[in-house]
Structure formats: C-alpha cells, structure tokens
Structure 1
Amino acid sequence: MYGLYRIVLFTIFDILKGLASPFFIFIFFIIYFQYYKKTEVPLKATIISILYGIVGGMIVTVALIYLKIYIIPLEYIYILITSLLLSIIDSRFICFSYGGSLLSLMSLVFHYPKINITELMIVISLLHAVEGVLILINGSSQKMFNIFNIKGQIKDGYEFNRFWPIPFVVFIGDTMIKPFLLFAILSYGDFTIGRFPRKKTLETSLMLLLYSSILFTITMISPYKFIAPIFSLLAHELIIFINIYRERSNLNSLKSIIKGVNVTGINSKGIGKELGLKTGDIIVRINHYHVKNSKDFIELSQKSFNKVKIEYFNHKKGLVKKKYRGKKNSLGIKIS
C-alpha cells in the first residue's frame, strides 16, 4: 500500500509539471477548439476534461507499472502526431485506437516505424478501459440537444462530444527509474434519439470496457502480432456502427417531439427577417442555448445582438443553422 501511495504521489507531481509544457498547451488548444465548435462554454468544458483526464492518467500510470510495461516515448510521439492529423478528417479519429493500429500495421508490413506492438496494444486497451469509466461518469456532461434527420424522419435527441487529455507517466529502462510524461487524447462522440442520455452513456461505457478486455486478452495470448491492431481498428468501428444501428432501429418506436418555440411573426427590420425565418418555423437554439419554451426565448429577445447564431426547424428544409454578424439589432421575432 505504501508503494502504491508513493507511485500516485510522484505521478501527480510529474503530471502537474507537465501541464506547463508547450506540448500540453498545444493539446489544450486542440481540445478547446473542438469544444468551441460545439459548446457554449468551451473553456469550462476544456478545464473539466483536463481534471478528469488527470485522474485517468493516474490510473493508466499505476496499471503500466504493475504490468511492467516499458515504453519508448518516440513511439507514442509518432502515434500522437498521427492521431492529431487524423482528427482533421474527423474528430473521432483523434482516438489512439486509429493512429496506434495504423502505425502498428505499417510497422509489420514496412518495418517502419519500429514499434513494440504488444506493449502498444496493452496501452490502448488500458486507455479504452479508462475511457469507458470516463464516459460513465462524465460522458453526458455538456450534452447538446439536437434535431436529427434520419431516413427522412425528424427526431430530437442529444449529441455527445467529450475529449479527455490523458497525461500518464512511463518509465524507461530495466530498473524503471527514469520517468517520462506522455499524453494521449480520448474522445467520445455519439448521439441518442429520445430522452435517455444517461442510459446511452452507460451502454457505450460497458461496450468499451468489453472491447478493452478482449483487446487485452488477444494481445497477451495471440502469437500473431497483426491480430491485435486489426481487432483494435475494426472493433472500434463496430462499436460506432452498433450505436448508429441501434438508434436507427428505434426510429419507429419514438414519437417525434421537437422542443422549441413556434414563430408567429417576423419584424421587417429584425435579425430574424435577415436570416430568413418564416412564420411556422420552430426555434430550438440561440447561441448554443436550447430554447425550450417562451420563458427562455423572452429572456433572449430583450437583448440586442451584433453576432448571433440561430438554429430553427423548417418543415420543408429540416434543421437550419444561420449566423448573423452586423450592427446591433433585436431578434424581431414573435412567438406563441
């Protein structure tokens, strides 16, 4: 127990020192930018993600020490850079299961870069076990109400977008006396149709914990090194496919209810007119703020804006997102 206490203590010190590094600051802005695109308070979401990520990093560090995993930091710098580049294509590709698996297969086929695939797959399985736990306790935080058009059916629900930077300490050398701080980034992008976001995060968490357990087992017992990275890549995509399939299969059993306020009139000099809102449209969000009823809207309609984003549902066009930038003006929208 005393040994575990010392490991945790030194891990905290190393992680706190690493938070001031230029590399971590770069990761901070990457995550902030992801939240900036999707949430109303990106700084708060980023700070909360960092705090949870530190706890996750401590868990990974302790597990690596007890499993006696020795790591070459250069391998993980390759993976992190690859993951960041892949995230430009789609934010979900920032997950290490993609960058790590692709580099492992490249190493097997082309013998470059040199990567210890067994240890890498163990780290990826541990990271996903931690991700499963983080989704369970923090996955529904900053969830966003949204309207989805799936197979021509309009349904409302929630969208999840969470990112956790995981700073973890590894040790180089046979005697494990040289600590080295590395960073991983875990992401959770998902959606659910209906009113049960906590149920969805619980299901996803359990699937990731199962995925992590199977990947760890395959890595430890399989004599063929290519099986683990292929499983890591395909099984991760399978989880995403299952989530989407389950939501689509539930379409017919869920009633379409769009929460918002009905537009009954438009002022000819207001922002609403300029953005093209019509009588009969349903306003669902203003500046990321979900407008559920007339009380929510009245608080916003009393203000003047020189920059505003309005999301509304039009029965012909579906969900429409419009931005206004210009002189300060009122919304000029009447509702029922």
Structure 2
Amino acid sequence: MKKLNVLYTKIENFFFKKDNQTEFLSFFRVAIGTVILLQFLAVLPDFDKLFSSSSIIPQDIMSVFTPDWLITFSKIITFLQGFGIEEGTTIAITKISFITLCILIITGFYSRGSALLLLILQIALLKGSSFFAYGADFFTSISLFYLILFPADHHFSLRNFIFNRKPEDLNIIPVKRLFQIHISIAYFFSGLDKALGFNWWNGESIWKAIHLPYSNRDLNFDFSWLTEHSYILSFMGWSTIIIEMCYPFFIWYKPTQKTWLFLTVSMHIGIALVLNLYYFSAIMIIWNITNFYFEQTAKKAVPFSKKKISTQYIPKQINS
C-alpha cells in the first residue's frame, strides 16, 4: 500500500506539481506566431493559384477528397457569394484576417481567441486544398491547438500592458506535460516507422531525400562524392532512427537531456538546409526548445542562517 501511495504521489507531482516556469509560454507564442506569419507571407503571392476558384488544381477535383461536412475555403466563398460578396473581397478579407490574427498572437493580445479563429481559418484553407499541404501545415494546426490550451498571453503580452494586468497565478504544468508526452510519442513512432523497413538502414532513404526535385536548391551542395562513401549514408540513416526512437528515453533523463536536445535540433537544421523544409524544421525546433530547453531544476535556496559570513573585512572596533 505504501508503494502505491508513493507511486501515486510521484505521478500526481509529475502532472500537477506547480513550478514558476513561464518563459517557455512567451517563447512558444512569439516563435510559432512568427513562423506561421512568415509561412503565409511566402504563400501570399500564389494565394489565388492555390485556394481560389481559378487554382491550379480545380476545386471540383479537390472537393472529391474532402468530406461534405467539413468547412473549406471554397465553401466559404460559395456561401458568401449567396449574400452578394464577391470572391475577390472574400480573399482580401481572408488575407488581412490571417495576417492580423498572427500579429495578435505574436504580441499576446487575446492569443487564445486569436489562435482559435486562426486555426479555423487555417484548417479551412488546408483541407480545401489538401494536394498542396505537407507536414508543416499539420504541425501548424497542432501548434495553434496548443496555443488555445496554453494561457500564452498571461506573461509578456500586449494585453497585460494595455490593461495594466498582472500575470495570473495559474498551473500550466498539466498542459505542458501533455505537450511533452505528445512530442515524445511523435518522435518514437516516427523512428519506429523508419526502423521497420530497410531503406533507412542502408542509407537509400537519405540518398533519395537529398536528390528530390525540391531538395538542395538553395545551397546546392555537391553530394556526388557520397557514391564512393555509402557508409556515410548508412550512418546518417542509423543516426536518424536512433535519435528519434530514443528521444522519449534520453530527453527525459536529466544527464542526457541537453545532449539529445542538441542532436534533435541539429537534425532539423540539417533537414532545413539540405531538404529546404524550412518551416517544418522551424516548427519542430520550436517544439523542442519550448518543451525541454527551459526544463531546469530549481536551485534550493540556502537559509541565511547557514551561510558562511566572512569576517575578513569586518573592521575592528576602535577604542575611543
């Protein structure tokens, strides 16, 4: 019975014991808001080609792969046209709204409500044009979901500055633990999926990845020398599997936490530079830093009575 009580106490402390960490909230809010804004600004010149009725892939074709109950951007356009609002007006309002909501999240002005509205808008764009979506878009949706759960604007925010509010004393540990467990599970199964095949063990997947049409276009590295050193490709494949599968074990273990965080961030920097997946890598780096960079054990304050007081420089009494 004692052991069960001890175990229950440990689990309860893990999920609910409050600490004073708040820096990760501000970092996550500002960093994710900035990445989402930059990603949208990059897409903005081609917005009509991706999401409007004159898109490269007709909306009728994309709607075949979309459930009828799901709200998409094309359905929003059709709905508003019934009230006499032209498609061009809807697109202009959407662009302004998206950018405005990102700025509100970054500055911390009611970031929860802004994240909720932005998530609805982002999903409407994403699901209506699923042929153009990739990993970064799905992780963007998840990031906005966590911004809804986190009271991210309770610290270092424009809302507090304008209304002269003091940060509320909230326990955010349960949501943080959920986020940490989420990213640990994601890495583990990503590594497990790679380990089940043979392409990652022999380096074939690495070779294919660096020669994809959209890869290595910015820095234009010469990888031809790898044909004579295939063991390097195998090493990179093995390293990726080990980093991802062992993530849940070594990232939680304090002595190896910084090392595994460094390895994971380095892996994503390599993905960004070689595969040109900048936004995906940026989001994953933000997730890692948010969850584990700010994890520090609070130093126990030494009671004043137990501190050693040096008497070297205490002046002697001068007899009058």
TM-score greater than 0.5 by the shorter chain: no
TM-score w.r.t. the length of structure 1 is 0.24
Higher radius of gyration, 1 or 2: 2
TM-score scaled by structure 2? 0.25
- Looking at secondary structure, tell me which structure has more helix per residue: 2
